[in-house]
Structure 1
Amino acid sequence: MDEYLEVLGNKLNEECGCFGIYNVKDAASLSYFGLHALQHRGQEACGIASSDNKVITCYKGKGLLSDVFTNKILEDLAGKHAVGHVRYAKAHENQIENVQPLMVRSHTGHFAVVHNGAIVNAKELKVELEDLGSIFQGSSDSEILAHLIQREEGTMVYKIMNACAKLEGAFAFIIMTKDCMYAVRDKNGLRPLSIAKLENGYCVSSESCAYDIVNAKLIREVEPGEIIRICGDDVQSFKYVDQIQKKMCAMEYIYFARPDSVIEGINVHNARKLSGKLLARKDKVKADIVIGVPDSSLSAAIGYAEESGLPYEIGLIKNRYVGRTFIQPTQKQRERGVRMKLSAISAIVNGKNVVMIDDSIVRGTTSKRIVQLLKDAGAKTVHVRIASPEFKSPCFYGVDTSTYEELISSRLSVKELRDYIGADSLKFLSIDEVKEANGPNLCVGCFSGKYPTNLFTLGNILKK
């Protein structure tokens, strides 16, 4: 069991951003701006495919959008339709073959695919497809959907419907043919996807914050188990499955999404702020100031300060020009990387009893270093408050929480974890409070170990 979970955990680690634009002039350039608003969802690679109703042109590469795209490249991506993607992946999965959009070119027609999420039964589907003669170029789940679509018959929408009916897990797809666009969401609503109006056309995005930058107006979420087909002036809705549920990933609200995004009708900043208020309501700690760990915890810190009556201060500064610290080759360099990314303001925390708000504790090492940063800067005490429950179980739906061994709360009690990170006290938000802040229809599997889908694939593999 543990060996399988380790393999699965190391594989399903993506959290990406998708953006599509239909029937709008300079679609590729607008997609660049839309993706820029989603850059927080993936920094390893990016790509854009555009269509002029006749030919689909694609350009992609490793790195940030600003590293990959130039004005000349965007000008060459001519057309009124485009789909784009920003990708997050572990180093061993960041081959160029996995960078999206993925292009399918065949005698039946060309199309491009972008995807966010993780398909739980990907391994079994890939083996089955290979046995049928399919050849895979990379290890992306998106490629499985492309092969499934190609093997179906009928119109494009029915091909997509039949292909998606075979998938289990969390996914949001945007598929673009030369003259149509399709937005697809998994039957459990685990990953966000919405549609907006722009001029005479439409946008589709993983987060609504991308609409603001292109001046689009949010229409609604794509429903679980729904395919929205945009073709010409016609917008149609199809259901590819009867049994659906709304189980949005709680981590979208807690960590992944930008504060200015709206997911399932809930503003992310307001949800995080309410989480902070809930943390403070039953908290009797004696402290002088409240600070948040930049950036996703700042809203919760504001809420905690308002509810507790303690002053909110900026006690930690984030250096936005430092790369990811895990690529450093030695532990000492990685630790120095944390100090490069975050600095404690001694003038604020020195001699103070500090309440430090963070969004989560996964492996514990970062929390430990931040607590030490504050104490090195003169903080008298550091009381850590976490705006989510304890991470106790792996995620099978795309969040990068790997094995039980790596999830420190699966091994340590709250008291033991408090001692490990060096905090003077430690408290977490409860699962009920997470649902109060973010809505009742959530996937909280990484906190509870109870998953919203039937993980039959897991059982089948384990029996083999």
Structure 2
Amino acid sequence: MSELFHECGVAAIYHLNNVPDSPICTKQGPDEISRLMPRLLLDIQNRGQLAAGMTSYSAKRRQILKTRRDVGSVTEVFRLNHRAKSESLMKQLTGRAAIGHVRYATCGEDDRSYAQPFERKHIHKRKWFSFCFNGQLANYGLLRKRLTENGEHHLQLDTDTEIILHEIGRLLSESSGEPDWFELIREAIKDFDGAYCMALLTAKGELIIARDPLGMKPMCYANDGRVFVAASESVALLNLGFEPEQIHSLPAGHAILVDGNSMRIESIAPSPKTAHCFFEWVYFANVASTLDDRSVYLSRTRLGEELAKLEKADPRFDWDPEDTIVVPVPDTSKAAADSMAFNLGLPSREGLMRNRYAGRTFIENGIARKAKAARKYTPLREVLAGKKVILVEDSIVRSTTMNALLDRIREVGGAKEIHVRVACPPIIAPCFYGIDMSTIDQLIGPKYFANGKLTLEDQQRMADHLGCESLRYLPVEAIAQAIELPADKLCQACVTGEYPTPCGQHLYQIALDNPGSTTDASRTYEQLAAALASG
């Protein structure tokens, strides 16, 4: 599923007092805990490879908040391959607290201006803060119109992050004393419709972490009494040295306030229901992560079990382990493929090698993306030649990569037959909550499964289009079974067309009413913003 990318990931760290006896701080003193931020960001680099950045806090520094952000990977932005340059940067960013961000754009441009965190400088320390955000506001257009309609306000960037930044800044400007951060965040988010997790760091040394009322985006935290750490995924905390039992998911609709000596959690919005993004378990999250008490790895193995059940129930296929192999599309399909193969009594083989340095196919145009997709995987002829290949993939979004991959497996790998099995239902609707598939015309699924029904005939038509012998998707109900969460606690809008927020449903109707009128550069919610701006 190399055609599908998440928007970003968020991380934060804070040394709670001046006693450096936490096992997390064996090499970093209290005022140098910020040095661990690039390490945290590397562990969530899977969530965004376009840009990275961090802001550190040090009351001992003239520039109390200091931010570095740029286009590039974490390694590139923080010069991790050059020891002297990296050390120089980290000395400048030394601090007792830090927030960090990795980004892939679902809105706005691919330049440094959009890299996060965003810093709002002010002469009053209580109004000086830095902010980063993971998600997307479905009602961005409405919020933008409300902010700019009197002609007195101007937005520089086409991103909802700037909207949130100005909303928090406005509330701070209206406050006469020290802000009650829980109350301020409650007021800031009351009109938000969408998915978000955010981290905010002030020049007063306050750190705020917040999660939306639906819990659509994940946020994990840990506190050993000396060091507080939060990140979009638990694997970042685990690799820093926290024990699994110390790591928790922030409840939906809650925020954490860390002030240097203590940590408090409070509700910031009613959360009568949740809508966790199911794609976190299927694809986005690191396989070693646990999100909302559900293991990513175990969820993916259960998806493989569901695929095996469908295979056993279909009398058309009688697989012979002598000439049939199961091959995952690297890397996130491996758990499902191994599980499927085990349950069918078939060998699972790594018949595709991924070239990790082929470049980012998701930021190219269609022609360039297909050319790079062809170079991204190397088929192993000694594994594939003469075999019936059951190719297991996470999902098929635009079909560009799959078309190129099937050609390579047949021509270079010498496979006798290719049967595609997808550990996910067909994607038939856009996402307006932070995944890069915001228009219907980007998707291949609606061309074959617009009514949401998975018929054998429609799946075979798609197989013929892709160039494989057969194709099978999982039904929608298999997702909740694999994740072991009720369907009504998950956001499955992209596979059902049923959105958990009013504005999301409204945007979907706009997309349905205007098929084929949008491109990658003009996403549906940006169309809505333009329509509102023009009156």
Q: State the TM bucket, normalised to the shorter chain.
A: over 0.9
Quote the Cα distance in structure 2 between the aligned partners of 1:319 and 1:245. 41
Q: Kindly report the root-mean-square deviation, in angstroms, between the aligned alpha carbons of the 2 structures.
A: 2.2
Which digits, 9 at most, give the CA deviation of each residue in 1:197-229, with x for residues without a partner?
256020110001111232134431111111111
Task: Return the offset for 1:139.
Answer: 2.1
1:251 matched to 2:279: yes
1:151 matched to 2:170: yes
Aligned residue for 1:193? 219
Quote the Cα distance in structure 1 between the aligned partners of 2:443 and 2:467. 18
Aligned residue for 1:9? none
**2:110 paired residue among 91, 94, 97:** 94
Compute the TM-score of the two structures, normalised by the length of structure 2: 0.80
Task: Return the offset for 1:434.
Answer: 0.7
Change (3 A) 1:189 1:431: same
Quote the Cα distance in structure 2 between the aligned partners of 1:212 and 1:292. 27
Partners of 1:225 and 1:244 within 8 A in 2:
no
Compute the TM-score of the two structures, normalised by the length of structure 1: 0.92
Aligned residue for 2:348? 312
**1:416 paired residue among 461, 479, 482:** 461
Quote the Cα distance in structure 2 between the aligned partners of 1:327 and 1:20. 28
Aligned residue for 2:20? none
**1:103 paired residue among 109, 119, 131:** 119
Aligned residue for 1:362? 397
Aligned residue for 1:214? 240
Quote the Cα distance in structure 2 between the aligned partners of 1:286 and 1:346. 24
**Which is worse superposed, 186-195 or 396-405?**
396-405
Matches within 5 A, 1:346-357: 346-357=381-392
**Which is worse superposed, 277-286 or 183-192?**
277-286
Secondary structure in structure 2 of the residue aligned to 1:408:
coil
Aligned residue for 1:8? none
Secondary structure in structure 1 of the residue aligned to 2:502:
coil
Aligned residue for 2:82? none
Change (3 A) 1:273 1:14: closer
Number of residue pairs aligned between Structure 1 and Structure 2: 452
1:42 matched to 2:48: yes
**1:80 paired residue among 90, 93, 96:** 96
2:318 maps to a residue whose letter is K
2:500 maps to a residue whose letter is P
Aligned residue for 2:141? 123
Aligned residue for 2:159? 140
Name the % identity.
31
Structure 2 runs not aligned, ≥5 long: 16-29, 79-85, 449-457, 511-527
**Which is worse superposed, 125-134 or 55-64?**
125-134
**2:424 paired residue among 376, 388, 394:** 388
**2:70 paired residue among 61, 78, 81:** 61
Partners of 2:426 and 2:473 within 8 A in 1:
yes
Aligned residue for 1:290? 326
2:12 maps to a residue whose letter is G
**Which is worse superposed, 85-94 or 363-372?**
85-94
Partners of 1:226 and 1:240 within 8 A in 2:
yes
Task: Return the offset for 1:40.
Answer: 1.1
Quote the Cα distance in structure 2 between the aligned partners of 1:53 and 1:360. 48
Aligned residue for 1:276? 304
Partners of 1:365 and 1:421 within 8 A in 2:
no
Task: Return the offset for 1:233.
Answer: 2.5
1:177 matched to 2:209: no
Secondary structure in structure 2 of the residue aligned to 1:323:
coil
Task: Return the offset for 1:165.
Answer: 1.5
Aligned residue for 2:524? none
Secondary structure in structure 1 of the residue aligned to 2:201:
strand
Change (3 A) 1:139 1:28: farther
Secondary structure in structure 2 of the residue aligned to 1:338:
helix
Which digits, 9 at most, give the CA deviation of each residue in 1:243-283, with x for residues without a partner?
43221101111111010011111111111111011111120
**Which is worse superposed, 321-330 or 354-363?**
321-330
Partners of 2:134 and 2:196 within 8 A in 1:
yes
Which digits, 9 at most, give the CA deviation of each residue in 1:49-105, with x for residues without a partner?
000146111111110111111221112102110000000016962232211001011
1:322 matched to 2:358: yes
2:119 maps to a residue whose letter is M
Structure 1 runs not aligned, ≥5 long: 1-11
Change (3 A) 1:392 1:232: same
Task: Return the offset for 1:26.
Answer: 2.2
Quote the Cα distance in structure 2 between the aligned partners of 1:170 and 1:277. 30
1:283 maps to a residue whose letter is E
Secondary structure in structure 1 of the residue aligned to 2:54:
strand
Change (3 A) 1:347 1:437: same
Partners of 2:327 and 2:392 within 8 A in 1:
yes
Which digits, 9 at most, give the CA deviation of each residue in 1:174-207, with x for residues without a partner?
1111311111111111100111125602011000
Partners of 2:201 and 2:207 within 8 A in 1:
yes
Secondary structure in structure 1 of the residue aligned to 2:236:
helix
Aligned residue for 2:9? 17
Aligned residue for 1:442? 490
Task: Return the offset for 1:149.
Answer: 1.3
Partners of 2:234 and 2:247 within 8 A in 1:
no
Matches within 5 A, 1:391-410: 391-410=427-446
Quote the Cα distance in structure 2 between the aligned partners of 1:442 and 1:36. 28
Secondary structure in structure 2 of the residue aligned to 1:148:
helix
